[in-house]
Amino acid sequence: EAAGEALRYFAALRALRVTSLTVAHVAKHAGKETTPFGSVFWLNIARNVYEVKKVQAAGEDKIEVGLFHRKCNTGKLLRSQGFRLTFDGDATIHFSEVAVADVPEFENSLPVWQRLERCLQEMGSASARELATATGNTLAAVRQALKVGRDKRFRLLEGETWGLATKKDEDANPSPFPF
């Protein structure tokens, strides 16, 4: 797909001056990361990008849906969210929240920092190397997430051992940024 089509689409959408929702198929490629089908401009020009995934076993009366915020031009990425839709025999659909990390098929879709949080909740404390092994991420990705989240999400305990930060840690080291 040519970039021109995506550029014309977003120009026309912008001219409408209304909030919009664009739904796109994802490209099928061997990479771990999913992107909209066609030109890279479908991803690059969008202001917010969410990925929606579902899990449903054949014959089941429930669907689990994961909502993953992948891009935001005007603020911070939001935490991934999960929902369970349960279908009753009388055409009623019940919605409930579910922890994305509790759905095994969604776990690899979580950002590294969320996987680290989940892992540290279970383990209490661990080294970066242990966290990389437990989460299946590279050591470099784990170290970067720990560095970015230090004193906000994660706390260096002693030596090379990390744990979860507390509210007290965050208050003692406020962010230099007002947003």
- Do residues 49 and 70 touch, judged by C-beta distance below 8 A? yes
pTM above 0.85, yes or no: no
Q: What is the pLDDT confidence band of residue 168, given thresholds at 50, 70 and 90?
A: low
For residue 151, the tally of other CB atoms under 10 A from its CB is 16
pLDDT digit string, tens, across residues 40-58: 777 788 888 888 999 998 9
Residue 1, pLDDT > 70, answer no
- DSSP state at residue 17: T
- The yes-or-no verdict on residue 20 having pLDDT over 60 is yes
For residue 134, the model assigns a pLDDT of 93
Q: Which residue intervals of 17-166 are DSSP H helices?
A: 41-44, 112-123, 128-135, 139-149
- Mean pLDDT for the chain overall: 85
- Give me the mean pLDDT over the 46-74 stretch: 90
Report the pLDDT value the prediction gives residue 166, as an integer from 0 to 100.
83
pLDDT digits (tens, 9 = 90+) for 112-159: 998 999 899 999 999 999 999 999 899 999 999 999 999 999 999 988
The rounded distance, in Å, linking the Cα atoms of 136 and 13 is 40
- Give, rounded to a whole angstrom, the gap between the first and last alpha carbons of the chain: 38
